[in-house]
Amino acid sequence: MKARVFITLKNGVLDPQGKAIHHALEGLGFSSVNDVRAGKMIELDLADGTPDSDIEDMCRKLLANTVIENFRIERLANA
Amino acid sequence: MNSAVIVFPGSNCDRDLAVALEQVTGRKPAMVWHKEAELPEGVDFIGVPGGFSYGDYLRSGAMAARSPVMRAVVDAAGRGVPVIGICNGFQVLTEAGLLPGALMRNARLSFVCRNVRLRVENSQSLFTAQYDAGEEIVFPVAHHDGNYQADEATLDRLEGDGRVAFRYLDEVNGSGRRIAGILNDAGNVLGLMPHPERVIEPAHGGTDGRRLFEGLLETVAA
């Protein structure tokens, strides 16, 4: 089974990379963009039956830095 | 003083730190590879050097903070052994939970590599006893992720408890309250982005960093 972990900066944490992407989009003429926040996605290939609590543990202990980042876990059906 | 310098794959200031420590203490530090689960017996000072441990994968310092040797470093810090984390070492110490907050991408996104002016905010610590309170010094910085961030309550606590050791005099990387270096609650762990080990002899273009190691030697040897 597979799961995806989405890691995003917490609200209020300055995101210089998102800002730079925003400026670049504006430079390309995309004037409709109000804001950009950059994050990352990590795909995990897991043993069948791995409980959610284990994935959450992985996020807290390594995948996300909870001082500045939030995480969201998405299990992939039939993957 | 028996010092140890931790070496991760991708560390690149480990030798600079070792040279600084040997010059000041007269003894070569033990170079401890990240896979070691224990520190050499009798170590009374630990340096976590700058560089790009594990290629900055995931987040700067994230992988290094979970390496076997860091468990030993956290234990030693808990026993009161002085620990300094410089640049990537500072990032490793925050990721390991020895210091609060996080070091994010520089506010202007660019790698900053130059001398910066700092103010010594706390001259009473193990690491800063040979500086005067409010003294202005110059250390070089060389980093991409030096933007120190913590929530307002944490920043207030750091300020109130005198745990801001060094502050940038000018805007460098977007750090909250221009913080350049902080101490842990007990005062035996210092993390800072600027490089004191790169300014210890006149040929370096400055000697402001030397007193940090001399002060440490005096305290640890006493």
Nearest CA to CA, how far is B84 from chain A (Å)? 21
Quick one: average pLDDT of B49-68? 96
Number of other CB atoms surrounding residue B82 within 10 Å = 22
Quick one: average pLDDT of A19-44? 95
Is B152 among the residues known to form the active site?
no
At residue A53, the 3 state secondary structure works out as: helix
* pLDDT tens, position by position, B91-121: 999 999 999 999 999 998 899 999 999 999 9
Residue B163: per-residue pLDDT: 98
Quick one: average pLDDT of B15-44? 96
**Which stretch of A11-15, A53-57, B83-87, B129-133 has the lowest confidence by average pLDDT?**
A11-15
- Domain encompassing residue B75: 3-221
Nearest CA to CA, how far is A71 from chain B (Å)? 14
Strands A2-9, A40-45: pairing is antiparallel
CB atoms B105 and A17 under 8 Å: yes
Looking at the predicted structure, is the pLDDT value of residue A78 above 80?
no
Q: Which of A16, A63, A67 sits opposite B107 (nearest CB)?
A: A16
Architecture of domain A2-76: 2-Layer Sandwich (3.30)
How is chain A split into domains, by residue range? 2-76
The H-or-E segment that residue A5 falls in is: strand A2-9
| 8-state DSSP, B83 | E
For chain B, give the mean pLDDT. 96
**How many structural domains does chain B have?**
1
CATH number at residue B98: 3.40.50.880
Mutate to test the interface with B, among A5, A9, A13, A14 (most CBs of B within 10 A): A14
